[in-house]
Amino acid sequence: MLTVKKASRLFKDGAAGFKNITFTVQKGEIVGILGTSGCGKSTLLRVLSGLDHADSGTIHLNDGSPSGAGVIFQEPRLMPWLSVEDNVLFGFKNPSKYRKQAAHYLSLVGLSEFAGALPRDLSGGMAQRTAIARALASQPSVLLLDEPFSALDAFTKMQLQDLLLDIWQEEKTTMVMVTHDIDEALHVCDRVIVLSGQPGEIAAEFKISQPKPRSRSDLSLATYKEKIFSILEYSNTGLQKYSVR
């Protein structure tokens, strides 16, 4: 579905960005890109989306075109003068043809009753649900999420993580999620790729064997969390490579 091979994007004379990134994402898989601030994970997502370019390496999505990617940003980025439904349809050349499609995804995120509401009438969680519906309405080959719940309170954040899993159960959407939240990555993702250093490199890859949905109190997830935390803590002084299955 998505193949990244030896990709690099560097800034500040090579001191920021990411380098030598190689991984694949299979159809229907949720892959997390995890790392601390400054390791280049959001830059990587922009490159995957086609909003930026790699300095070197190759990135192929299906036939190699980035047009099959949908993006959900940290903020909802809704048009304040458009209704919820029209925000979902924003960007379609003939929106009236896709209203049934928009209604399906608004139902999927629990916002059918708010289709006519304006963004100012929505809570933060509802605004991000609208952004999720908008990204899904174009039926992308892969959904790219850039820390989509980082601005929300803890309870709303957990609700939307579970919503994302509900969407995956129904649609089997392929996803790549950038996050700095270890618990979020372990709850949502099938695999977790840990970036470390500046510029960021792949320090570890974890395959989470427990089936989704997972209990947040699962002790085996706590073991993964301890290992990931140790890697990120170690990255302050050097880079250690792991492959954990």
pLDDT tens-digit map of 232-244 = 886 654 444 444 4
Instruction: Please count the other Cβ atoms lying within 10 Å of the Cβ belonging to residue 159.
Output: 16
pLDDT tens-digit map of 154-203 = 999 999 999 999 999 999 999 999 999 999 999 999 999 999 998 999 99
**In order of start, what are the domains of the chain with their CATH numbers?**
1-62+142-245 (3.40.50.300), 74-140 (no CATH)
Where does the pLDDT of residue 13 fall: very low under 50, low under 70, confident under 90, or very high at 90 and above? Answer: confident
Q: What is the mean pLDDT of residues 90-114?
A: 93
Q: 125, 102, 128: which is closest to 115 by C-alpha?
A: 102
30 or 239: whose pLDDT is higher?
30
Where does the pLDDT of residue 73 fall: very low under 50, low under 70, confident under 90, or very high at 90 and above? Answer: very high
**pTM for this prediction:** 0.89
Report the pLDDT value the prediction gives residue 65, as an integer from 0 to 100: 44
Residues contacting 94, CB < 8 A, separation 6+: none
